[in-house]
Structure 1
Amino acid sequence: MYESINIEIENIDHLGIIAGIVDEVGIVEIVNQKLPSYPIRLHIISCGWEI
């Protein structure tokens, strides 16, 4: 009746390091400068943060 599901769990501790580098380099600001801004913002967060 029910199928068993295999779940794989991975440790993602390195994401904090990556987030720190992204912040230090200013990647979010660079992306926000390069992408067009729209007169009506439909997003709660910027395109740079989405990436």
Structure 2
Amino acid sequence: MPQMAPLWWEMLFIMFFMSYMIINIMIFFNKNNTFKTSNKINKMSPQPNWLW
């Protein structure tokens, strides 16, 4: 039925857009968590005292 083609294209576009947004949100929170853990690691490591 060619009358149903626009509905399928719309559903395909919506599913692609939703998956794209979810992947971007997951990447954002993953980067945010890695920055927090890297800051904690840097704060826990002893800082050298350079005497110039």
Task: Report the TM-score, using the length of structure 1 for normalisation.
Answer: 0.29
Q: What TM-score do the two structures reach when normalised by structure 2?
A: 0.29
Q: Whose helix fraction is larger, Structure 1's or Structure 2's?
A: 2
